[in-house]
Amino acid sequence: MGEAINPWLHVFAATVWVGPQVFLFAVAVPAIRTVADTKERARLMRLITTRFGYLAWAAMAVLVITGIGNVYEKEDREFLFDHNWGVIFQVKMTLVILTILLTVIHSFIIGPRMLAAQESVTDESQIASVRRFSIAISAVNAIIALGILFCAAALNTDWALE
């Protein structure tokens, strides 16, 4: 029973990582953009993205730690180099690195610029290019996260073990 804890934490952290991304992209941000008062809209966006940032980075830390733990729980690590499983695993790890890099860029460069711009301008057209770039990075990151989930599911198929 104890051996289920690490994989469960990994799945839980993945849920916490991906679920809010989908929610923010599909629900929260479009809803916030309907707020007419630009100062209130900026305040709401900062509040939500700051809280999401704490949650997301905590989930990412748990994912990395439990992911490493999942690999080291295996007695025979030769599976890391098995053809199908190893290729899927390498793709998954590449996507993980990409999503971490994109998240760093969005969390510490693009996001703060976007929030500062939203708080300082009254004409939304002045920040349209920054917004488009932010949306594009978020969309690519969400697609990569879904790719990681697909790879995780594929790793647990009979095909991966062939």
List the domain boundaries for the chain: 2-161
Q: How far apart are CA 27 and CA 95, in angstroms?
A: 25
* Alpha helices per DSSP H over the chain: 5-23, 29-32, 38-72, 83-105, 111-120, 128-155
Q: What is the pLDDT of residues 103-127, one digit of tens each?
A: 999 999 999 998 888 888 877 788 8
Q: What is the pLDDT of residues 140-152, one digit of tens each?
A: 999 999 999 999 9
pLDDT, position 78: 74
Report, as ranges of residue numbers, the positions in the chain whose pLDDT lies below 70.
1, 75-77, 79
DSSP string across 51-91: HHHHHHHHHHHHHHHHHHHHHHT-S-GGGGGSHHHHHHHHH
Residue with tokens 């905590």: 58
Spatial contact of 91 and 151, defined as CB atoms under 8 Å apart: yes
pLDDT, position 149: 95
Entry pTM: 0.87
